[in-house]
Amino acid sequence: MIDDFGQLAATELADVELALPLTGRRFVTTRGAKLTLPSGLVTTLPPNTTVLGGAVMADGKSVTLLAAHAGGRQLIVVSLGTGQITQRHAILASTVRLAIRRGLAIAQLEACVLRLLDLHAGRELGTLSFDHDVDDFVVDLDGQRLAVRTGHGAVEVHQLVDLLRRPAASIQAPPSVERPDATPHGRMDEPDVITSAPRAQQPGSEASDNDSIARMMRRVGADLRAT
């Protein structure tokens, strides 16, 4: 069931392992290495490829997949118009977040290190090293802000452009909002692909933004969790 432009739409899909919505009634579906696009076009990924998760980009022109193949993981970008694989990025991470409007992917390399990829240009934009463990993180749809949850249960909100301007040294945490009900937990070992946080609000109350992102992070496990 999905929100189809303001209406709830329920669609039954048979014999698929993963369904990634384009609209409420059009999907990218996978079964093994077989990828079926909303147009009905079928693309075959390399043999023994397993799609773990992914999302259709906001412009409706491509889909980004997290796939396992030959003992490693890859981010694969497929054109919805032609079915051709346009980009392929080898990654070590099992946790990936997508900013589907801007075409960015953020992957967690280590407990305190994130890698930023530009899916349109096919290049790495930088590596973000924090001075604390990152238990969870999300990025907004437009790739403007990054929210991280620390091992102490605090939520920090960073402007992504500011993080990229800093030297490669550890990023110092800005003042963060302590959540009294937040408890630390370990990062999940299973692959985890999340699309994006809700669209950023207009400039206003920073506390309100932090609360909104914190609530979203508590719900993040329900959004496109790969199995």
Q: What is the pLDDT of residues 24-72, one digit of tens each?
A: 788 999 999 999 999 999 999 999 999 999 999 999 999 999 999 888 9
* Rounded Cα–Cα distance for residues 208 and 131 (Å): 25
Residues 201 and 166 in one domain: yes
163 and 59 in a common domain:
no
Same domain, residue pair 63 and 153: no
For residue 70, the 8-state DSSP code is T
Alpha-carbon dihedral 146, 155, 198, 53, rounded to 10 degrees: 70
Q: Among 63, 91, 119, where does a domain finish?
A: 91
Residues 127 and 71 in one domain: no
CA Rg, the chain, in Å?
18
Domain boundary among 75, 91, 107: 91
Check if the beta carbon of residue 36 is closer than 8 Å to that of residue 29: yes
Number of other residues whose CB lies within 10 A of the CB of residue 185: 11
Shared domain check, 182 and 101: yes
By three-state DSSP, how is residue 226 classified? coil
pLDDT digit string, tens, across residues 117-150:
999 888 999 888 888 899 999 999 999 999 999 8
Residue 113's CB is within 10 A of a number of other CB atoms, namely: 15
- The average confidence (pLDDT) of the chain is 76
pTM, whole model, 2 decimals? 0.69
- pLDDT at residue number 63: 96
Average pLDDT estimate for 175-196: 43
Most confident region among 93-97, 183-187, 192-196 by mean pLDDT: 93-97
What range defines the domain where residue 38 resides? 1-91
